[in-house]
A and B are shown apart, each in its own frame.
Chain A
Amino acid sequence: MEPFTTLTSRVVPFPQDNVDTDIIVPARYLKVTDKAGMDQYLFRDWRFESDGTPKPDFILNQPRAQGAQIFLTGRNFGSGSSREHAPWALLAFGFRALIGPSFADIFLGNSLKNGLLPVVVPAEVSAELLRLAEADPNLELTVDLPSQTVQLPGGKRVSFPIDNFSKQCLLAGVDQLGYLLKQEAHIRAYEASHPPLLQTTG
């Protein structure tokens, strides 16, 4: 996982609420057994015609999206299915941060574990950012993880919450599994004092 510290980038405005993970990556592309090439499935049915030609009106097909690393969206982004293919595809396309008023629980956890930073801002701020981005395709924002702030072009800063554990993992670029592996003694003690009610094998 790549560390995340500070990111300054152009943004893609996507002003919709409740964008579900079936839209982010349709189920028929979940038959893969690895993570390669996920960017081509991102928003597949909104982004491409059935024959694979890009739909010119769709924002990810426009010049402003090329190289943009910040995605602005509406409420409850990533709702529905737990498929981690959704953050994998967003990352593969080049996004490193998502900014919105709220994110679905499972999607939020999946994103943090992959180095994709979900930035939760108040609804008014989200609406203002979307307005600014729609007005100016070259708008750049800075997401600064150490200070937990988003910096707007005029220098205005908006702070965002993130739990300290996820923050430290992102800053260091380390996998959360490392922490779990270090809990071996605690887990062994728990297992010794909680005999299983169930044995699925044998």
Chain B
Amino acid sequence: MAERLPKTLFEKIWERHVVVEEPDCPAVLYIDLHLIHEVTSPQAFQALREKKLKVRQPGRVVATMDHSIPTRNRSLPIADPLAANQVRQLEINCREFGIPLYDMNSPYQGIVHVIGPELGLTQPGMTIVCGDSHTSTHGALGALAFGIGTTEVEHVLAMQCLLQRKPQTFEVRVDGALRPGVTSKDIILAVIAKNGVAGGVGCVFEYTGSAIRALSMEARMTICNMSIEGGAKAGLIAPDDTTIEYMAGRPFVPKGAAWDQAVRFWKSLPTDSGARYDKSLTLDASALEPMITYGTNPGMGMPITGSIPRPESMPDAASRGALAHALEYMALEPGKPLLGHPVDVVFIGSCTNSRISDLRLAAQILKGRKVSPKVQVLVVPGSQQVKRMAEQEGLPQIFREAGADWREPGCSMCLAMNGDELRPGQYCVSTSNRNFEGRQGKGGRTFLASPLTAAASAVAGSIADVRTLL
């Protein structure tokens, strides 16, 4: 019998899902779960209608509303006519094509990358796609999950398959124990600061090492979520006991004998010893400090006690130009520290950091404290389930007493489509994933950081080191 070659987690999932691969053609990859939201799907459904095609497997699709919906009073009609139309269009499309929809009144509604795992829709070993680049989040459970465009949404709706070229594998190994005040958000910001925003292009990251193993499931999601910010379409973490414990009892998880069988399968997924990755990097978690970004892409990050780099210190003309441009947009001075820099808004939310454990971290800092009167603080839970859990634990009360605003679940100020937005020139410490120009509102300026750093900065009214409050 031939010896079995050792394989990576990625290769095991990939090979299992290749339907056919003809010479000189991309592989036809089967998709187990397709998640849909209102923004990137309408043109795909329209194309199906024009081509007289049906949805092949409505039972492998779930839709929700998250991007353009209001986070204030949901009993009122949506004020923005375009957003209202987009939401209505999703309702019509789901009804016409037989797709389950968790709308604004559903107890399951939430940010698509928060509800997938919490409902047990996301399972280890699956292939998962969504017309949304942060689909990489679901890789925390050991699923191959990546964002696709609207044409591909149409392909998956029609055939439950995608045409894909096999990406390269990239091991991101993080060893060591995190120090107090340092979170998984700081790990991923440090990885991207080190490897660059294009460092993972063409690759799937697999996060390994003792620091990753020690993280909770939700903390792992924060890491995989930002894989795309490092240029990788997907990020994976091998399923382990933490994963299996997390899965148990969730609504869509197999039951009885099927559960036992699923667990056996999940346990077969981790990368075999001796398997090779195409690329790799290592990071020492024990050396990390809380991280913060100073520029206009997520790679422009540094330890919170650091100083803003000077464009002259950059290795080439392009990065000198990019940094100078970013600092001009941010109105920040090279060489200066960020600690103590005034802040106008603090946003705690998004598919990166809006889960119950994130809200608990923020509440831990805000409990018994007041946010600075100069700062507007928004806390936006990732889903209805997160919201209910937070309510049971009394978190909204802590936030309100501190002077923060507690909202309904959605993407909110992560991308500012729904009216929750920065005004031009405002500075915001945000737990989201993108500090691009205008991302949180035209002319708005974003500092990406962890929920701990965000909460500490809310209290201080300026960028603060949470370790002084612990």
Which residues of chain A have C-beta atoms less than 8 A from B61's C-beta?
200
Option from A26, A33, A80, A180 in Cβ contact (under 8 Å) with B434: A80
Name the interface size band of chain B: 35 or more
Option from A74, A114, A179, A198 in Cβ contact (under 8 Å) with B252: A198
Q: A60-68, A98-106, A139-147: which one contacts chain B?
A: A98-106
In this complex, how many residues of chain A approach chain B with their Cβ under 8 Å: the count is 58
B43, B51, B58, B132, most chain A CB atoms within 10 A: B43
Which residues of chain A have C-beta atoms less than 8 A from B442's C-beta?
26, 28, 45, 50
Q: Encode A156-200 as 1/0 by CB contact (under 8 A) with B.
A: 000000011100000000001101110110110011001011111
Q: A2-10, A12-20, A51-59: which one contacts chain B?
A: A12-20
Q: In the complex the two chains form, what is the Cα distance from A30 to B276 in whole Å?
A: 41
Q: Is the CB of A106 within 8 A of B434?
A: no
A contact face: mostly helix, strand, loop, or mixed: loop
Which residues of chain B have C-beta atoms less than 8 A from A125's C-beta?
none
Q: Encode B302-322 as 1/0 by CB contact (under 8 A) with A.
A: 000000000000000011011
Q: Is the CB of A198 within 8 A of B32?
A: yes
Q: Is the CB of A31 within 8 A of B60?
A: no
State whether A33 and B89 are in contact (beta carbons under 8 Å apart), knowing that A180-B158, A181-B159 are contacts in the complex: yes
Q: Is the CB of B319 within 8 A of A201?
A: no
Smallest CB separation, A201 vs chain B (Å): 4
A114, A191, A200, most chain B CB atoms within 10 A: A200
Q: In the complex the two chains form, what is the Cα distance from A74 to B297 in whole Å?
A: 15
Q: Encode A4-48 as 1/0 by CB contact (under 8 A) with B.
A: 000000000001111010110011101111110000000001000
A109 at the interface (CB under 8 A from B): yes
Q: Encode B399-430 as 1/0 by CB contact (under 8 A) with A.
A: 00000000000000001110000000000000
Q: Is the CB of A27 within 8 A of B25?
A: no
Q: Encode B438-465 as 1/0 by CB contact (under 8 A) with A.
A: 1100100000000000000000000000
Question: Which residues of B from 323 to 366 have beta carbons under 8 Å from A?
Answer: 325
Option from A34, A110, A186, A197 in Cβ contact (under 8 Å) with B42: A34
Q: Is the CB of A30 within 8 A of B39?
A: yes
Option from A17, A80, A186, A198 in Cβ contact (under 8 Å) with B123: A198
Which chain A residue lies CB-closest to B411?
A27
24 residue pairs of the A-B complex, CB under 8 angstroms, read: A22-B434, A22-B436, A23-B436, A26-B442, A27-B439, A30-B40, A30-B67, A31-B68, A45-B437, A79-B198, A81-B132, A81-B415, A82-B40, A83-B40, A114-B151, A163-B165, A180-B158, A180-B159, A183-B159, A190-B30, A191-B30, A191-B160, A201-B58, A201-B100
The 9 A-B residue pairs with the shortest CB-CB distance in the complex, in nearest-first order: A110-B149, A31-B82, A33-B42, A76-B198, A84-B149, A82-B147, A84-B150, A82-B133, A186-B20
Residues of B within 8 A of A (CB): 19-20, 24-26, 28, 30, 32-33, 39-40, 42-43, 46, 51, 57-62, 67-68, 80, 82-83, 85-86, 89, 98-100, 121, 123, 126, 131-133, 146-152, 154-155, 158-161, 163, 165, 167, 197-198, 201-202, 228-229, 231, 233, 252, 254, 258, 262, 297, 299, 318-319, 321-322, 325, 415-417, 434, 436-439, 442
